[in-house]
Amino acid sequence: MGVRFQYRRLAMSISSCGFGHDHPPARALYTPRETEALLGISHASLYRLIAAAKLDARKLGNKTLITAVSIAQLIAELPPARVRST
């Protein structure tokens, strides 16, 4: 599978994830790579958030998955951005 195709699949899953809407997310679980792309963070930052219990990671066999609910909760708890007036 080429990089371009993988990017399209990820972009489609991000656009259909349901964040910012009143209905629940379309998916319940995301891979670490998808979560990193959704949040725009590094691999190390993702695992720091998991260690700090700000993201809920689950195991399915030997696969690590992040719950969509914990991603949405993390986003909801972010402080508002301060915009400097010029």
pLDDT digits (tens, 9 = 90+) for 27-73: 999 999 999 999 999 999 999 999 999 999 999 999 999 999 999 99
pTM exceeds 0.75 = no
Contact (CB, 8 A) for 9 and 17:
no
* The Cα angle at residue 64 between residues 59 and 67, in degrees rounded to 5: 85
Assigned domain for 71 exists:
yes
Beta strands 63-67 and 57-60 are antiparallel
CATH of the domain at 58: 1.10.10
Q: Is residue 7 part of a domain?
A: no
In a domain, 32, yes or no: yes
Count how many domains the chain has.
1
Confidence of residue 85 (pLDDT cuts 50, 70, 90): confident
The larger pLDDT score, comparing residue 27 to residue 13, is at 27
- Distance between CA 69 and CA 24 in Å, rounded? 9
> Would you say residue 86 lies in a domain?
no
Helices (H), the chain: 3-15, 32-39, 43-51, 68-77
The boundaries of the domain holding residue 43 are: 21-77
